[in-house]
Chain A
């Protein structure tokens, strides 16, 4: 217990350091007035300090920090069938609104729900309370009642590739295609994916397909492993609820294959590329005047290549660090790419939350207004004053940079704990983990730079 508390204090200290620097931030010109450079340096140093502290602290601290306790175990009725059916009904209603409602993406509840509530807010919620998507996805309930399906086996060899490719398609749709928020177009894409998933589940069996093919199931399940509460139902139907420090699910759940690592790297690469694609250096690279953005139609080819290129670059860097670590460490180390890819998840979530924060603050208001309109209530005024007020922009920046640093600090600690669990030796773990730790320190700087950089798109 003492070690756990010491670990918590350590974590809070490390993650809290950058907050001391003074800065303001903005979505536009105000951000550039602020000394975000101090945050960049301070935040990167904080993560670097975490690496050094982890290397010298007693080996048992890391394990103790992440050791979970069982809160409850016992039988629990399968509420997830009911919630999933309710989710299917709500989705059907949203699709109907998408097909027949207003074409205005800021007034139609389908794009507002999909892009703001589901894609931005739900991952953050899942990282706090657990895999809510498993409860509300539209397929699980139907398959539970109709039988799990399964005519053909989904070969082990393909690993997570189906989910990975589908996620890449989703990322392209979100970031590169011309009008992902158009209600009619979005309704068509969502309906197609829902139908496709029903067919795939019927063909390969829902159990296998949701494990390695349904790309959002895979994504939310990975993100939920960061939550301080982990819920699992075993074969006998009993539910076990474990609690622990956020991220313990990364260390204590099942490991994943290289193909699973590629999925996680894709998730981080795509959200990072979303940020990168709007920066002046990227626009300069593809020959676009940042003060005269031509619209998405002008950058489809460049951003398609960039999206895949970002994934390739991140994967190459990650696996290079894994190989370098293997070379630096003692002989006979177990393969760690899968387990260490899981430790990237806090970085992914942190950047996701930071990057989409202002979109949530604006479009979240539109979602509330649309709900009010549907219920016949007076609509709220959607304001963007917080993007043009220095004090508010400062708070937004502090939240964003704080999240980035906290995510990277957690990732460093998790990676160190993961390697320690395999090698047991503090020095060997430090050497093995050094390349990946360096990558994480560098990625802190990169993430903070992305958030602070002026945007032209």
Chain B
């Protein structure tokens, strides 16, 4: 684990180069879709992308929206002429949100379905269970997981995460704004297992670098569904309460927090993961009014909505509240699903850069993606501009902080990509395929 996130040496130079490039491109023209040109089609056989999707199991709610976004992105890419003039075909297989099943699905993609690549996995344990098999089969595996496992070096050179940022970068990037706007004395409440520990560790370090202090760390046993007995442990001098509760107890936690504090309460900061697909207007969540959340991609369209965000929403079928156009109460997993859209566009760009013709070019495809760095905000990347780190196979992007006002989430801060970067923990490019 890196102890110092300040980019050193070559990392800093690369970063500054990237930041300048992003600035220049963002200020100027956008990259229009399809501008990379159409390679002469060597074969009219479709490009087959194996979509490892959580259709059943605990990930099913996310899988639903990942599927819709994937279909929308595929339609767009095919309407624009496909990849290298070839149509893109998605073969979706359910992994049951299970790692063993995930590995079997990877196997099916490589052999039975003759897919060119695999893509789309969200839950970390499934990624970790599937990536080794993808590596053995030399099948490029593009995950949309937010897990830090890719950049940690745990996986292999065939596994990449170019379309969604990871939780380490998300958490640490919150510290500057939180410490300078909400308060420097932080109490953290988190579930007592790896997910919560990561938040505790990443945010703890980052806020200390801002001159802040984590004055209490309250670890809640995962089996708890009522939290009253933990709330008195929150020190009175707490300025910011940082919470990342997940699971069925989340709404209970918010309600009990509200009942415990009443009107006099510290600033409250949480992650939208706990409330993905939940309407902020739900009864019981009134206490959240005035509190702040990390958002990967702001659910509610604001007054300065970009044309790319408008296009993305229309293509996937969600309204300006992040809910389905067909059912305004069907709230999407807006903070995550863009990852599928952007990853598919990376696949297209990579295949075109590598002049991908078939499975023998899989290695060239990975190398082409490893060579990417600046990804400007565009129709392909509506969430915002990105910086891809070819060595760690992880992309970095802007993170957002929103405030709950009137039952909506109003963006109040967009981090620089700079804030989100940490030192490399691995260099996959030095590994063999």
Question: How does the 8 Å CB contact mask read for A274-300 relative to B, with 1 for contact and 0 for none?
Answer: 000000100110000111111111100
- Show 14 A/B contacts (Cβ-Cβ < 8 Å), sorted by A: A32-B252, A105-B56, A179-B101, A283-B223, A289-B222, A294-B98, A294-B99, A296-B101, A297-B99, A388-B329, A390-B282, A454-B225, A454-B248, A454-B249
B98 near A104 with CB under 8 A, answer no
Please choose the segment from B57-65, B232-240, B349-357 that sits at the chain A interface, where 4 or more of its residues have CB less than 8 A away: B57-65
With A and B bound together, what is the CA distance between A33 and B329 in angstroms? 19
B251 near A33 with CB under 8 A, answer yes
B277 near A388 with CB under 8 A, answer yes
Number of A-B contacts (CB under 8 A): 141
* Chain B residues within 8 Å of A382, by CB: 64
Is B278 engaged at the interface, CB distance under 8 Å to the other chain?
A: yes
Is B423 engaged at the interface, CB distance under 8 Å to the other chain?
A: no
| Shortest beta-carbon distance from B416 to chain A in Å | 32
Is B279 engaged at the interface, CB distance under 8 Å to the other chain?
A: yes
Closest to B255 in A: A33
* Chain A residues within 8 Å of B92, by CB: 102-104, 107
**A-binding residues in B (CB < 8 A):** 53, 55-58, 61, 64, 91-94, 96-101, 108, 113, 125-126, 191, 193-195, 222-223, 225, 246-252, 255, 277-279, 282-284, 317, 323-324, 326-327, 329-331
B56 near A181 with CB under 8 A, answer yes
With A and B bound together, what is the CA distance between A294 and B252 in angstroms? 24
With A and B bound together, what is the CA distance between A173 and B61 in angstroms? 23
With A and B bound together, what is the CA distance between A116 and B222 in angstroms? 32
* Chain B residues within 8 Å of A454, by CB: 225, 247-249
Number of interface residues of A (CB under 8 A): 43
With A and B bound together, what is the CA distance between A179 and B92 in angstroms? 15
* Chain B residues within 8 Å of A283, by CB: 223
| Shortest beta-carbon distance from B269 to chain A in Å | 19
Is A58 engaged at the interface, CB distance under 8 Å to the other chain?
A: no
Is A328 engaged at the interface, CB distance under 8 Å to the other chain?
A: no
**B-binding residues in A (CB < 8 A):** 28-33, 102-107, 178-179, 181-182, 280, 283-284, 289-298, 380-386, 388-390, 454-457
B283 near A390 with CB under 8 A, answer yes
Task: Give 19 new A-B contacts, CB below 8 A, not counting A106-B55, A296-B98.
Answer: A29-B248, A29-B278, A30-B251, A30-B284, A32-B248, A103-B92, A103-B93, A104-B93, A290-B247, A291-B247, A295-B99, A297-B98, A297-B100, A298-B98, A384-B64, A385-B331, A389-B282, A389-B329, A454-B249
With A and B bound together, what is the CA distance between A284 and B64 in angstroms? 29
With A and B bound together, what is the CA distance between A104 and B94 in angstroms? 6
With A and B bound together, what is the CA distance between A103 and B64 in angstroms? 15
* Chain A residues within 8 Å of B330, by CB: 381, 383-385
The 7 lowest CB-CB distance pairs between A and B, nearest first, are A295-B98, A381-B326, A297-B100, A385-B329, A454-B248, A29-B251, A385-B330
| Shortest beta-carbon distance from B110 to chain A in Å | 14
A105 near B55 with CB under 8 A, answer yes
A178 near B252 with CB under 8 A, answer no
With A and B bound together, what is the CA distance between A293 and B108 in angstroms? 24
A291 near B98 with CB under 8 A, answer no
B251 near A32 with CB under 8 A, answer yes
- Which of B57, B225, B317 is close to A295, meaning CB atoms less than 8 Å apart? B57
* Chain B residues within 8 Å of A280, by CB: 223, 225
Closest to A102 in B: B92
- Which of A29, A178, A295 is close to B249, meaning CB atoms less than 8 Å apart? A29
* Chain B residues within 8 Å of A104, by CB: 53, 55, 92-94
B246 near A296 with CB under 8 A, answer no
* Chain A residues within 8 Å of B247, by CB: 29, 290-291, 454, 456
DSSP class of A's interface residues: helix, strand, loop or mixed? loop
With A and B bound together, what is the CA distance between A361 and B53 in angstroms? 21
Closest to A106 in B: B55
A28 near B96 with CB under 8 A, answer no
B55 near A32 with CB under 8 A, answer no
Known: A33-B255, A103-B93, A295-B100. A290 touches B56 (CB 8 A): no
| Shortest beta-carbon distance from B148 to chain A in Å | 15
| Shortest beta-carbon distance from B6 to chain A in Å | 32
| Shortest beta-carbon distance from B227 to chain A in Å | 11
* Chain B residues within 8 Å of A182, by CB: 94
* Chain B residues within 8 Å of A297, by CB: 98-101
- Which of B248, B249, B324 is close to A383, meaning CB atoms less than 8 Å apart? B324
With A and B bound together, what is the CA distance between A290 and B279 in angstroms? 24
| Shortest beta-carbon distance from A423 to chain B in Å | 46
B317 near A381 with CB under 8 A, answer yes
* Chain B residues within 8 Å of A455, by CB: 248
A292 near B195 with CB under 8 A, answer yes
B279 near A32 with CB under 8 A, answer no
With A and B bound together, what is the CA distance between A102 and B324 in angstroms? 25
A390 near B284 with CB under 8 A, answer yes
With A and B bound together, what is the CA distance between A454 and B224 in angstroms? 10
A291 near B331 with CB under 8 A, answer no
A290 near B324 with CB under 8 A, answer no
| Shortest beta-carbon distance from B99 to chain A in Å | 6
- Which of A33, A102, A295 is close to B101, meaning CB atoms less than 8 Å apart? A295
| Shortest beta-carbon distance from A116 to chain B in Å | 12
B94 near A105 with CB under 8 A, answer yes
A293 near B284 with CB under 8 A, answer no
- Which of A29, A178, A284, A289 is close to B100, meaning CB atoms less than 8 Å apart? A178
* Chain A residues within 8 Å of B108, by CB: 103
* Chain A residues within 8 Å of B223, by CB: 280, 283-284, 290
Known: A179-B94, A291-B246. A32 touches B225 (CB 8 A): yes
* Chain B residues within 8 Å of A298, by CB: 98
A291 near B55 with CB under 8 A, answer no
Max chain A C-beta neighbours (<10 A), residue from B96, B99, B278: B96
With A and B bound together, what is the CA distance between A283 and B331 in angstroms? 29
With A and B bound together, what is the CA distance between A292 and B196 in angstroms? 11
With A and B bound together, what is the CA distance between A386 and B324 in angstroms? 13
With A and B bound together, what is the CA distance between A289 and B324 in angstroms? 32
B326 near A290 with CB under 8 A, answer no
Max chain A C-beta neighbours (<10 A), residue from B246, B255, B279, B330: B330
* Chain B residues within 8 Å of A456, by CB: 58, 247-248
B327 near A383 with CB under 8 A, answer yes
